[in-house]
């Protein structure tokens, strides 16, 4: 059985959430992690039947499709935040309640996965276009406070790692029943 990665709730405990993500990514290359997430998700989910992808592994848990929808939302939000930090001086941007976004209407899963892959590829181009010596630029997260572009990228990379773990666990649960 795959061990879960535990991350505090972003809305309830923003400082602990941020620190847990930064601890999780550690010394790993965040750009490499972000670049590998969509291909890894495709590998895990691309050939599975839709009923497995859309099924909750346990009551109250997100299905793999809902996790991908959530990561899609994160790419929208962070794509915007990254662009602000890279083009403005110390911009302020709001937090958001991810749990309230998840039930919003979505494309059918196969289209959603493809759309997310394109959005993620666009964000990877953005991140990789800026030399690491410019990753010190800052912004202010409405809930988590000041952060550098580097911290933002590291948080998303760790977030990806945690959700890939969640997808793997969901697939394992649903395919071994």
Is 92 inside any structural domain?
yes
Report how far residue 108's alpha carbon sits from residue 104's, in angstroms, rounded to the nearest whole number. Answer: 12
Q: What is residue 90's predicted lDDT score, i.e. its pLDDT?
A: 98
Count: domains in the chain: 1
Which pTM value belongs to this model?
0.96
Q: What is residue 93's predicted lDDT score, i.e. its pLDDT?
A: 97
Q: Which domain holds residue 91?
A: 15-175
H-run or E-run covering 145: strand 145-148
pLDDT at 125 over 90: yes
pLDDT at 177 over 80: no
CATH number, residue 77 = 1.20.120.450
Q: pLDDT over 90 for what percent of the chain? A: 94
Report how far residue 47's alpha carbon sits from residue 13's, in angstroms, rounded to the nearest whole number. Answer: 36
Beta bridge partners of 141: 93, 145
Q: pLDDT over 70 for what percent of the chain? A: 100
Q: What is residue 112's predicted lDDT score, i.e. its pLDDT?
A: 97
DSSP per residue, 73-119: HHHHHHHHHHHHHHHSSS-EE----HHHHTTS----HHHHHHHHHHH
Is 152 inside any structural domain?
yes
Is 133 inside any structural domain?
yes
Report how far residue 44's alpha carbon sits from residue 64's, in angstroms, rounded to the nearest whole number. Answer: 10
Is 6 inside any structural domain?
no
Average pLDDT over residues 69-94: 98
Is 2 inside any structural domain?
no
Q: What is residue 1's predicted lDDT score, i.e. its pLDDT?
A: 85
Residues 6+ apart with CB under 8 A from 96: 77
Closest CA to 156 of 168, 174, 144, 169: 144
Is 77 inside any structural domain?
yes
Average pLDDT over residues 160-170: 98
Mean pLDDT of the chain: 96
Is 4 inside any structural domain?
no
Q: What is residue 5's predicted lDDT score, i.e. its pLDDT?
A: 97
The pLDDT-based confidence of 10 (bands split at 50, 70, 90) is very high
Residues 6+ apart with CB under 8 A from 32: none
Is 10 inside any structural domain?
no
């Amino acid at each position: 059985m795959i061990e879960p990665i535990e991350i505090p709730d972003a809305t309830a405990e923003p400082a602990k959430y941020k620190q847990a993500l930064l601890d999780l990514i550690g010394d790993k290359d965040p750009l490499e992690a972000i670049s590998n997430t969509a291909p890894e998700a495709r590998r895990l989910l691309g050939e599975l039947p839709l009923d497995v992808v859309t099924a909750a592994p346990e009551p109250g848990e997100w299905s793999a499709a809902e996790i991908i929808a959530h990561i899609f939302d994160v790419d929208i939000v962070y794509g915007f935040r990254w662009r602000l930090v890279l083009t403005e001086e110390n911009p302020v941007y709001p937090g958001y309640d991810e749990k309230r976004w998840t039930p919003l209407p979505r494309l059918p899963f196969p289209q959603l996965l493809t759309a997310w892959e394109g959005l993620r590829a666009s964000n990877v181009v953005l991140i990789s276009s800026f030399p690491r010596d410019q990753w010190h630029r800052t912004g202010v997260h409405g809930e988590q406070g000041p952060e550098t572009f580097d911290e933002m990228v590291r948080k998303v990379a760790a977030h990806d790692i945690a959700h890939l773990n969640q997808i793997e666990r969901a697939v394992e649960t649903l395919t071994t029943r």
